[in-house]
Amino acid sequence: MNKRFLALVCSAGLLLVLAGCASTPKPNADGSPYWTTSTPNNTRTLHFEVGSAKMSTPQLSLLRAESAAKDAIGRWASTTVDNALVTFVEEAGESLRNQQTLEVLQNLSVQTVNIALRGVSVAERYTAPDGTVWVLSSYPVKNLKDAYKQQTDALERKLEIAEAKSDLMMAYLESQLENDVVEP
């Protein structure tokens, strides 16, 4: 029985090792990690982008590669927010055809992306033999949603304040007009 148990344990161990090898993607032909050409996209919680650079020093290359990855995430976030904005405007129909409303919504999308990028982190780094630095950066999709909510709330507060100021100005103007009217 011990031999059968030992054989079973060895078989299970071998299967686990083989399964682990099968799940690890092969490196690219040049020896670089698979993620430099196949960005992970199988997650709904994180968005990944790759950046690369070859500068005069390894430090500058790393800085530039991280910046390139963050820039790619920024473009993705901007496109995502802009597409959501366009869809929202199209579905809202004539009620949102006001140019001022559209400008406010576009401003909101730009501010959202600027704030949202604060959550970018480096998931992987690779330095190629030729000195090129590759960076895989990740960004929690939740951060984009949170940033949009934060900006929407801030915009609502600004609109409430502007509305209150407008009401106050109208009341003042009306009182001034009443005082200036000369009765015949």
> Which pLDDT score, from 0 to 100, does residue 156 have?
76
Q: How far is CA 127 from the centre of its chain?
A: 25
Q: Is residue 62 part of a domain?
A: yes
Instruction: Report the distance separating Cα 76 and Cα 55, nearest Å.
Output: 25
What predicted TM-score, i.e. pTM, was given to this entire model?
Answer: 0.61
pLDDT at 113 over 50: yes
Tell whether 100 is covered by a domain. yes
pLDDT of residue 18: 43
Q: Which one has a higher pLDDT value, 119 or 18? A: 119
Domain count, the chain: 1
Phi/psi for 181 (5° steps) reads: -75, 125
Alpha helices in 57-98 (DSSP H): 58-92
Q: Is 173 a member of any domain?
A: no
Whether 91 shows a pLDDT value over 80: the answer reads no
**Per-residue pLDDT averaged across 40-66, rounded?**
91
- Mean pLDDT, range 47-69, rounded to an integer: 94
Cβ partners under 8 Å of residue 54, min gap 6: 61, 130, 131, 132, 133
Q: Residues 50, 35: contact at Cβ < 8 Å? A: yes
**Residue 115 confidence (pLDDT):** 63
Q: What is the pLDDT of residue 46?
A: 92
- Does some domain include residue 74? yes
| 79 lies in some domain | yes
Distance CA 34, CA 13 (A): 26
d(CA 101, CA 122): 37
Residue 152: the pLDDT is: 73
Burial class (CB in 10 A: 0-12, 13-18, 19+), 114: middle
Count CB neighbours of 105 within 10 A.
Answer: 18
pLDDT value for 21: 43
Whether the predicted pLDDT of 44 surpasses 90 = no
Decide: 38 and 26 in contact? Cβ < 8 Å. Answer: no
Residue 181 covered by a domain: no
The crossing angle, in degrees rounded to 10, of helices 99-116 and 141-180 is: 140
Give the end-to-end CA distance of the chain in Å, rounded to a whole number.
118
Is 165 among the domain residues? no
Residue 54: band (very low, low, confident or very high) from pLDDT cuts 50, 70, 90: very high
Higher pLDDT, 47 or 155: 47
153 within domain boundaries? yes
Domain range for residue 91?
44-158
pLDDT tier for residue 62 given thresholds of 50, 70 and 90: very high
